[in-house]
Amino acid sequence: MPSHLRTTQLYKKAFDLLGLGDSADARQENLPEDMAINYRGIAGDPLKEPVPAYITTSSEKVVKGSNNSSIVLGRDRPGSRISGYGGRGDTQAGSIDLVAGRLGASAQAFSANPGKRVWVDPSLKHDAARIYMSQKTDVDENFGLADGKVGNAKTKSTVAIKADGVRIIARDGIKLVTRTDGVNSQGGEIAEAVGIDLLATNNDEDLQPIPKGDNLREALEKLVTHVDKLNGIVDSLLMYQTKFNEALTHHTHIGPFKIIPVGVGFVWETTPSIPVVSTGIKTMIDHLSQTKRSLMTHKTNLGIYKMKYFTPAGEKYINSRYNNTT
């Protein structure tokens, strides 16, 4: 199997009570059988497992389950109680934080020091799965995302989804749409169109525009046409030149006409070859009137072709002006 298709090795055990605590009634294996059977999590029964305690603020409302899942209704808080716009005391920074698996594989209720409870803040890096909604936040900075061409969003409303695997599933279709409104949630005018970046490995060093398939196909078809026309021009040039070469090969002279001394000897100056002269003149005329003109037209067409398909100002630019990928 190719390396890029291999599934990630699971290092966390399927059933792990490490960090649950050392009290006699905390560990399932120390419970009486009639009690333990109700805490094995089979078929939806309660399950004892290590769950860290969440550090709440007085303005937050927390709805939590028994198995390390919670919904926090509060204000923008990507980390500690003083983080984000909520920590700064900004208004219009309401947030909803849905989390499953605080601290991820490192989750524990008690530390190695017996009886010492583990308390945690939101961890956008380590928590297992999260949907984070905020009326005002710095989403790229908080989640450690590369800028790309879309840029680093500051003081903007956000919906962020993070997990080991994220799937967006639709029975009909999925649209990724930008700039549906003229102003953002903070009342600011959206001055420019911002597209979509697809960043593999959170790396934007080799970020390139996504080709537009229809335009690219048309561009390649026209390129083939231009090459075919150039082939025709060269073929005509070859035919003209072949006629001249043929005249040179079979030409004759009338003469002797004039004797010219050369050193100790002499040569005859003869009359021009009538077939060569006439064919040569015709070939020069054909080169100028046909080949040269065709080449100039061809060069102009190539310039228009390049402008139309390969420059951002072109009518059918083959690349997306807004959407990019690595």
What is the arithmetic mean of pLDDT over 40-55?
A: 80
What does the pLDDT read at residue 35? Answer: 60
In whole angstroms, give the CA distance from residue 27 to residue 18.
9
pLDDT tier, 40 (very low <50, low <70, confident <90, very high otherwise):
low
pLDDT above 70: residue 229: yes
pLDDT tens, position by position, 142-193: 999 999 999 999 999 999 999 999 999 999 988 988 888 888 888 888 888 8
- Select the more confidently predicted residue: 267 or 158: 158
Label residues 264-278 b or e (16+ Cβ within 10 Å = b). eeeeeeeeebeebee
What does the pLDDT read at residue 306? Answer: 87
pLDDT above 50: residue 25: no
What does the pLDDT read at residue 141? Answer: 97
Beta-bridge partner residues of 324: 197, 209
- Show me where the domains of the chain are located: 13-49, 51-206, 213-325
- Select the more confidently predicted residue: 213 or 167: 167
pLDDT tens, position by position, 66-83: 899 999 999 999 999 999
What does the pLDDT read at residue 267? Answer: 67
In whole angstroms, give the CA distance from residue 229 to residue 237.
12
- Select the more confidently predicted residue: 21 or 132: 132
What is the arithmetic mean of pLDDT over 318-325?
A: 85
In whole angstroms, give the CA distance from residue 68 to residue 107.
9
What does the pLDDT read at residue 5? Answer: 47
pLDDT above 50: residue 124: yes
What does the pLDDT read at residue 154? Answer: 94
Maximum mean pLDDT: which of 146-150, 252-256, 262-266, 277-281: 146-150
What does the pLDDT read at residue 28? Answer: 54
Residue type, position 15, single letter: F
In whole angstroms, give the CA distance from residue 205 to residue 4.
20
What is the arithmetic mean of pLDDT over 207-222?
A: 88
pLDDT above 60: residue 8: no
Share of the chain above pLDDT 70, in %: 79
pLDDT above 90: residue 96: yes
The pair of three-digit structure tokens given for residue 62, joined into one six-digit string: 């927390």
pLDDT tens, position by position, 245-260: 676 766 666 666 667 7
Maximum mean pLDDT: which of 10-14, 43-47, 136-140, 225-229: 136-140
What is the arithmetic mean of pLDDT over 189-217?
A: 88
3-class secondary-structure state, position 63: strand
> What long-range pairs does 223-228 form, CB within 8 A, spacing at least 24?
223/305, 226/298, 226/301, 226/302, 226/305
